Amino acid sequence: MIYSRGFDLSSNHWESLNQIAPRLAAKDHTIWGELAENEAAQRLDWIDLPQTSRQLLPILDALSAWSRELGHKRFILCGMGGSSLAPEVIATHYSKQLEVLDSTDPDQIAKVLAGGIAHSCIIVSSKSGTTIETKSQFAFFHREIEKLGKNPSNHFVFVTDPGSSLEAQGKSLGIKVILANPKVGGRFSALSAFGLVPAALLGIDVSVLLDDAEVAAKNFAQPNSEPIKVASALASTPFPEFYDADSIPGLGDWIEQLIGESTGKDGRGVLPVIVNQKSGETITFSQADTKSVHGPLGAQFIFWEWTTALLCFLLNVDPFNQPNVAEAKDRTAAILKRDSKQNPPIFEDEKVQLFGGTPVTSLEDFFGRFLAIPSEYIAVMAYLNRKSSEIHLIREVLAKLTNRPVTFGWGPRFLHSTGQFHKGGPATGLFLQITTHYTSDLQVPGEAFSFSKLISAQAAGDQEALENRKLPFFRVHLKESDSGVKRLLSAAKSLKN
């Protein structure tokens, strides 16, 4: 089961959601309006996953046996957004080692390679098979496996939709392919093959996740159910805070993607803010806290999917499309084919370059002017190695300085989640992009670009999209990552409220 506590009971949305919830349980694709009907008709099978995913159990048992027979000792997941966030939560929750590669940062990729891949199982997850990050990662690791004299079919597993280019590629290479339900969108896929294949390979009993989800969901269509309560409260809370560190680490990041990408469009949306410290208004997953949603992990997955679908009804948006994610992909592809020109920096010293706005005299001066710009929220977007950088600490510093919601995203993975909200949600954000200089690089096999060029194009494409919307955007470029991060944090901490 799953329970909530501390949510406002005075919301006037309950009555309408009490009418909608039974229709959602019946997979009524007309709930979100005429414009959303076609998309919704192809995206509602997540509701049945606690039951229908049991069909995968024999396949997963055989896959796990195959992996054990080959002696895989290391499990690496190449995937973005919904293909990576849920498996990472599951692995962490069960104290299993899964190395999630959801970046095109060459340093992060090189670090994975340096750990040794001779006894690895590399899971490549993509619904379409065309995700540029995942395609590039596969091409790179496929070449590296072959360089070791290994048979790639003994080291890769593909998870994808039927009929995708990845399915065709897997079959041609003799690689094991596990097909997911094509009527489940990526961010609603935690209980599908995308979440369960990595879990099963790690030795996790995935039937427990399905059991817990099935038990919890039995009551969701009832009047005043738990998802109805929480969706009603979130509809009037544009930037709800979440804290997960002492209960289910990583669940907040998964919820951030689910809610932010599903709701952030048509100038509306709700954007979860993952915080480092909890207060009385912070949503946690521990029963001991004032405001919480508590229950087992499988129940949490289905609960928040229900909550998001109901919240989208209240906001009058299509929960299943992501038009501005596709825009970011298109801009990246265009920039890879041309040179991206950049205006001169507004400030430069031995550690950093600053771009955007009027000239400043120092990094501290920049932060003072940056934070003086009015906004309803601040988004920090760091195109750095998330496995080694401490830049995420800047989120809390800026939040204390401004008393505004501050979100933090690792690039390029946030492009598949909160990036939709940045561009499609309310135009009220203030944006700080952080990039770096790469001392080494890795070529993408079969392509004219390297990983450093790819991640730079992704950052430039995101910049174009935000600036074209006349949103306040600034970029800090670190001449060297570690020392630049220290300088940036020092400058921010030197300011006073």
Output the CA–CA distances (angstroms, integers) from residue 242 to 269, 281, 343, 394, 455, in the order listed: 16, 9, 37, 17, 29
> For residue range 308-355, what is the model confidence (pLDDT) as tens digits?
999 999 999 999 999 988 888 889 989 998 866 778 999 999 999 999
d(CA 284, CA 312): 22
Residue 89, token pair as written in the block: 């939560």
Q: At residue 357, does pLDDT exceed 90?
A: no
Residue 233, token pair as written in the block: 């409260």
Contact 312, 318 (CB under 8 A): yes
Number of H helices, E strands in the chain: 19, 15
Q: What is the DSSP secondary-structure string of 337-399?
A: TS----PPPSEE-SSEEEESSS--SSHHHHHHHHHHS--SEEEEEE-S-TTT--GGGHHHHHH
> For residue range 90-135, what is the model confidence (pLDDT) as tens digits?
999 999 999 999 999 999 999 999 999 999 999 999 999 999 999 9
Q: What percent of the chain has pLDDT over 90?
A: 91
> For residue range 63-102, what is the model confidence (pLDDT) as tens digits?
999 999 999 999 999 999 989 999 999 999 999 999 999 9
| Closest by CA position to 240, among listed 262, 220, 259, 266 | 259
| Strands of 147-291, DSSP E | 156-160, 176-179, 241-242, 273-274
Local structure of 201: helix, strand or coil: helix
d(CA 176, CA 167): 9
Is-above-0.85 flag for pTM?
yes
| Distance in Å from the first CA to the final CA of the chain | 43
- What phi-psi label fits residue 406: left (phi over 0), alpha (psi between -120 and 50 degrees) or beta? beta
| Closest by CA position to 53, among listed 175, 149, 188, 146 | 188
> For residue range 254-294, what is the model confidence (pLDDT) as tens digits?
999 999 999 999 999 999 999 999 988 999 999 999 999 99
Residue 68, token pair as written in the block: 């054990």
Domains of the chain: 50-209 (3.40.50.10490), 323-493 (3.40.50.10490)
> For residue range 171-213, what is the model confidence (pLDDT) as tens digits?
999 999 999 999 999 999 999 999 999 999 999 999 999 999 9
Non-local (6+) Cβ contacts of 98 within 8 A are: 75, 76, 77, 87, 88, 91, 198, 202
